[in-house]
Structure 1
């Protein structure tokens, strides 16, 4: 998601919990409210996200806040199995249509963070024959969170962080990307979200009982923040025995 159409659609009450009406308004009569498919800004950002992923292929990925599935379609090329999750019914229908021919991608509807704790049940409900497919396996070795966390309360963001800590596989990758500017009606911004992520993972690095999240990459674009963590000590060069 980007900044387009965000202003004036939210009110302060939506900061405390997910608002169906906010996203329903965006998708009403509009299959691409952030113009993912037409804006160079969005294509450039997607290309940068894909380029900084430290592995060429992942076994089992999940995208939180998939929208109409434009990024999911590209992530699917890098994943043997992919779960795409969004809270909005219209967005999910659009994503399902876009990804219909990709049998290794499962699209489900659910509000973050609540749905994260019942993913298997949600997948089985949406795809009854999926139980024995790789997409049912946890933890995930790729978690992508793009343009969604600033819509959540700080408490819900902390819940997502705790879920990541429990569900990112050893050696796995976490990618987070968010718009830097303020969004009318929402307290959190990309800046505050990424500070919160850095703080949480820095604390993990100091806990001998935790497997650290190592900061792999960071892009401080004028318009967005992009951070990648690896649950591994191996950089790309180390993975290929260059050092």
Structure 2
């Protein structure tokens, strides 16, 4: 399988959501349900005042994160996905269409969640996203990464994306805990 060499464009995601509002079966997949539960269980605090979820899709993980958030900003590159997510959103969630790496929101955020999103970036763009996360992370903030480890044609594998991101953020978030490393990789980064 040939990998994309560049960051996947917003149009890739918009097309996927227009063809099928749940292109990765996040509403019905047992794998996704277990992964989302594990992601929320990995959080080290009962609540976080300000949370950023990058790549919120149709809002399934967003709904779970909202229960642990004061305010949650959920962003995605697809307007179709954002519109679907808004339909059942709790009142503490704000959805915005943002195309990364360039349109990164300003912090500070006490928690930044990057689930199934980093491997869509080229290595150079991922470095830029990592820098923006460090700038937006509040003192004593945390980041959670979760990525599928199967074969894809994305620019990076799950392992590559996680390792590159962790290396780029090590000065800001030096404590790294890998919680799962089977079908997906789940880890937390903190200061």
1:32-52 per-residue CA deviation (whole Å, 9 max, x = no partner) reads 111111111000000100001
- Report the Cα distance in structure 2 between the residues aligned to 1:189 and 1:105, rounded to whole angstroms: 30
Equivalent of 2:92 in 104, 122, 128: 104
- Secondary structure of 2:143's counterpart equals strand
Contact 2:14 / 2:77 at 8 angstroms: preserved in 1? no
- Report the Cα distance in structure 2 between the residues aligned to 1:191 and 1:75, rounded to whole angstroms: 24
- Report the Cα distance in structure 2 between the residues aligned to 1:27 and 1:200, rounded to whole angstroms: 31
Report the number of matched residues. Answer: 191
| TM-score (ref. length: structure 1) | 0.73
Counterpart residue number, 1:229: 189
| TM-score (ref. length: structure 2) | 0.92
Q: Which runs of 5+ in 1 are unaligned?
A: 1-6, 121-137, 205-210, 232-243
- Secondary structure of 2:75's counterpart equals strand
Contact 1:18 / 1:111 at 8 angstroms: preserved in 2? no
Equivalent of 1:198 in 154, 161, 166: 166
User: Is 1:146–2:115 an aligned residue pair?
Assistant: yes
1:35-83 per-residue CA deviation (whole Å, 9 max, x = no partner) reads 1111110000001000010111000000000000000011011000000
Counterpart residue number, 1:176: 145
Counterpart residue number, 1:220: 180
Please give the residue correspondences for 1:1-243 in structure 2 after superposition, counting only pairs within 5 Å: 12=4, 15-99=5-89, 102-116=90-104, 119=105, 138-184=107-153, 186-202=154-170, 204=171, 211-215=172-176, 217-231=177-191
- Report the Cα distance in structure 2 between the residues aligned to 1:212 and 1:70, rounded to whole angstroms: 27
- Report the Cα distance in structure 2 between the residues aligned to 1:11 and 1:89, rounded to whole angstroms: 26
Counterpart residue number, 1:129: none
CA RMSD, aligned part only?
1.9
1:174-226 per-residue CA deviation (whole Å, 9 max, x = no partner) reads 00001112312x23111101111232234x1xxxxxx54312x3123321111
Point out the structure with the larger strand share. 2
